[in-house]
Amino acid sequence: MSGLFNGSWRASVIYRDQWSSFLNPEPFRSSSASFDARLPVGRNDHVGFGLGVLHDEAGTARFVQNRVHLGGAYLRRLAGGRGRTSHYIGAGLQAGFGQNGIDWGRLWFSRQFDPNTETPDYSAGSGEPNANAASNMWLDLNAGVLWYTLFKNDGFVYAGAAMHHLNEPGISLIDDDSETLYRRYAVHAGAQVPLTNELALQPGVLWLSQGPAREINLGANIRYGNNDFQELALRAGAWLRMSNQLDKGLGPDALIITGMFEWERFMLGLSYDITVSSLSQANNSRGAFEISLSYIHPGGARKSRVECPSL
């Protein structure tokens, strides 16, 4: 989806905080930022390119993942124009680097336990041969495809698929080449169904598979827009996340409540996860909150406009 927007460039930031209700002050935290732009190729096609950065940390030992990716995509119109339904197809590639690490200073081992004070002595040697090690910098390759169609009444349908970590890079914190990152497969689809001139239903589904883990997110937003030149729009919806649990099949994990505010070229999004699995006994159903902000800079020429879904 690099370059899939109406404008010259786009910038986004996202922050997520998960399970702080019982992991405070070291909950799972994720931060990301991205920038992408597009250029016209011929009359109806476009290329997009972008940069994405992710920082993820979890737990008392501050297990950290850092990733930086450069990506590009090509968007081609298959049919449409002059009042006809438009069909587009796109393909993209990403290449980047990642590194994992742990703050070993937050850990202690049995050799550091002082029986006299009955507390760990962090100044004593741990005797661990791999302490203070981090993973090597690893190469990461991703690829994806997307199709969508637009209708005259501002409705649209889209579907896509992606494969992440094509090269299954080694991610071990110690000297162990057998510890690799599973490939991750994603399939997603969605639509906008106009109900009135101002209201539209936006259903969607996302299926993920990585190693032994499976997850499905499905739900819908209701979007209200005033259809003015300086458009003001609101979105609100509910989504269900389902995942497999150990040796069990798919089961409900969280109910996600979402809200988004659109003003001209800005979009502010908020969501909250209400835990509905057995974990709710520990966190009182308080799961995670996420906040996002994006900005799309307008394009200079009318001829460079891209017909695309308002995702």
Listed by start position, the domains of the chain span: 9-106+133-300
pLDDT of residue 82: 63
Tell me which of 87-96, 167-176, 265-274 is least confident: 167-176
| Burial group, residue 298, by CB count within 10 angstroms (0-12, 13-18, 19+) | exposed
Mean pLDDT, rounded, for 246-252: 84
232-237, Cβ contacts within 8 angstroms, sequence gap of 24 or more: 232/262, 232/263, 233/261, 233/262, 234/259, 234/260, 234/261, 234/262, 235/202, 235/259, 235/260, 235/261, 235/262, 236/260, 237/202
225-241 confidence digits (pLDDT tens):
887 777 789 999 999 99
Please give the average per-residue pLDDT across 67-76, as a whole number.
95
**Least-confidence region, from 177-181, 220-224, 273-277:** 177-181
pTM: 0.87
- Residue 179: per-residue pLDDT: 86
- Per-residue model confidence (pLDDT) at position 160: 97
What pLDDT band is residue 20 in, cutting at 50, 70 and 90?
A: confident
CATH superfamily, region 9-106+133-300: monomeric porin ompg (2.40.160.40)
Read off the amino acid at residue 197: N
Whether 90 has a pLDDT exceeding 60, the answer reads: yes
5-9, 39-43, 244-248: least confidently modelled range: 244-248
Residue 83 has pLDDT above 70, yes or no: no
User: Considering the chain, what is the average pLDDT of its residues?
Assistant: 89
